[in-house]
């Protein structure tokens, strides 16, 4: 195979993924630059009275469920505020989300989320209303499914003797778009003297492609099903580790953030996959350093595969296959430390850069993996 042919095949296979990676890197750099000059948003205590959302008596007396829900909603709204790169603090922020995802994240029924939204709306903190989108439904395909089910019933003798179907006299109907509820719009207060309220313009946007979400398995129902299956398959994790953040809460916050936050630096954030490096070959330590932060963004059902992929890349680059499980453990520890609010990924990236420099300057270095482990342990 000639060199030109090899370059053409490589560009055809890997160029779309490389472009996506480069767009993601540019997006992060621009967001960090914009966030450095953005006004800091208010604390939740300045926008909402905690005593007003705490039940004084009854079944839920002195519980903080409603306050924790409001805090989580406000954190997602802050992520949207940072992604937009606003130069001044707005009165409110609008996000598109799913009530079912919030209910699963808070371990309550959707009816509880609706009730909490009404209480917070009475206080002026937020306003939530269902959003209508369009879905392409093929009536002809539905008719074919019904005809096939009827034919099977006739063959089985459930509907009596089978009779030949009359010839079709009408032209099949064209596919049409139906109006369906595809999510919920939230308007969240960002200034103490403001009363959150949705505007008519907020309902005119189509925030997600419902048909594409169904094909890709990105619907709220599919996410909840995958999360439940993952929770049953994996061993139980302590709810709290030395007073740290709840790992389950961190998992759901990442899901809600990816669902709600629109990144306008990317052409199509709905099709952006954090696990795009799985189709590429990690050729250097720099590739691993760039991909480490994707552990926090990948879907929970793909995190295990991504960590194994990164660990395998390190073993090939360092030439020490015996350290594959140690690398997996190191990456998992970094992930759990990130859920606790510590900059573990940044620390791991710095240590990988040091090991890369040591391999270049220290020709006698035989086990770079052992050097990396010792430095991370120290």
Mean pLDDT of the chain: 76
On the question of pLDDT at 7 being above 60, the answer is no
On the question of pLDDT at 137 being above 70, the answer is no
pLDDT at 176: 63
On the question of pLDDT at 34 being above 70, the answer is no
Phi, psi of 95 (to 5 degrees): -130, 155
- Is the CB of residue 352 less than 8 Å from the CB of residue 361? no
Mean pLDDT of 241-265: 66
Mean pLDDT of 117-134: 93
pLDDT at 115: 94
- Is the CB of residue 223 less than 8 Å from the CB of residue 105? no
Q: What is the DSSP string of 169-180?
A: -SPPPPPEEEEE
Q: What is the pTM of this model?
A: 0.58
On the question of pLDDT at 348 being above 60, the answer is yes
- Is the CB of residue 305 less than 8 Å from the CB of residue 277? no
Q: For residue 111, what pLDDT band results from cuts at 50, 70 and 90? A: very high
- Is the CB of residue 160 less than 8 Å from the CB of residue 115? no
The better pLDDT of the pair 277, 61 is held by 61
Of 220, 243, 230, nearest in space to 102 by CA = 220
On the question of pLDDT at 265 being above 60, the answer is no
Angle between helices 65-84 and 247-260 (to 10 degrees): 50
Phi, psi of 97 (to 5 degrees): -145, -170
Q: For residue 117, what pLDDT band results from cuts at 50, 70 and 90? A: very high
Stretch among 91-100, 157-166, 199-208, 253-262 having the lowest mean pLDDT: 157-166
On the question of pLDDT at 347 being above 80, the answer is yes
Stretch among 3-7, 34-38, 100-104 having the lowest mean pLDDT: 3-7
pLDDT at 281: 61
């Amino acid at each position: 195979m000639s060199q030109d042919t090899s370059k053409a095949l490589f560009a055809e296979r890997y160029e779309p993924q490389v472009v996506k990676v480069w767009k993601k890197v540019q997006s992060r750099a621009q967001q960090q630059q914009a966030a450095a000059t953005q006004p800091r948003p208010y604390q939740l205590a300045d926008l909402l009275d905690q005593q007003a959302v705490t039940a004084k008596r009854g079944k839920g007396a002195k519980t903080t469920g409603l306050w924790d829900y409001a805090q989580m909603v406000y954190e997602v709204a802050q992520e949207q505020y940072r992604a937009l790169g606003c130069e001044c603090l707005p009165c409110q922020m609008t996000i598109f989300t799913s009530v079912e995802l919030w209910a699963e994240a808070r371990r309550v029924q959707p009816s509880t989320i609706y009730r909490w939204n009404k209480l917070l709306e009475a206080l002026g903190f937020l306003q939530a209303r269902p959003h209508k989108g369009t879905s392409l439904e093929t009536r002809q395909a539905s008719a074919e499914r019904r005809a096939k089910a009827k034919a099977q019933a006739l063959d089985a003798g459930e509907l009596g003797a089978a009779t030949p179907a009359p010839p079709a006299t009408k032209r099949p109907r064209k596919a049409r778009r139906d109006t369906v509820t595809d999510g919920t719009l939230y308007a969240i207060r960002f200034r103490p003297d403001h009363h959150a309220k949705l505007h008519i313009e907020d309902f005119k946007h189509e925030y997600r492609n419902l048909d594409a979400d169904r094909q890709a398995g990105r619907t709220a129902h599919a996410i909840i099903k995958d999360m439940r299956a993952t929770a049953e398959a994996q061993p139980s994790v302590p709810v709290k580790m030395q007073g740290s953040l709840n790992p389950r809460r961190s998992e759901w916050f990442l899901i809600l953030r990816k669902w709600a936050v629109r990144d306008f630096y990317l052409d199509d954030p709905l099709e952006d996959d954090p696990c795009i490096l799985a189709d590429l070959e990690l050729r250097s330590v720099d590739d691993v350093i760039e991909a480490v932060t994707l552990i926090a963004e990948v879907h929970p059902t793909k995190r295990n595969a991504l960590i194994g992929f990164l660990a395998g890349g390190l073993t090939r680059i360092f030439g020490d296959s015996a350290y594959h499980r140690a690398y997996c453990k190191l990456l998992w520890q970094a992930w759990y430390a990130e859920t606790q609010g510590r900059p573990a990924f940044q620390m791991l990236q710095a240590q990988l850069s040091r090991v890369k420099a040591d391999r270049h300057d220290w020709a006698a270095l035989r086990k770079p993996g052992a050097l990396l482990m010792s430095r991370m342990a120290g």
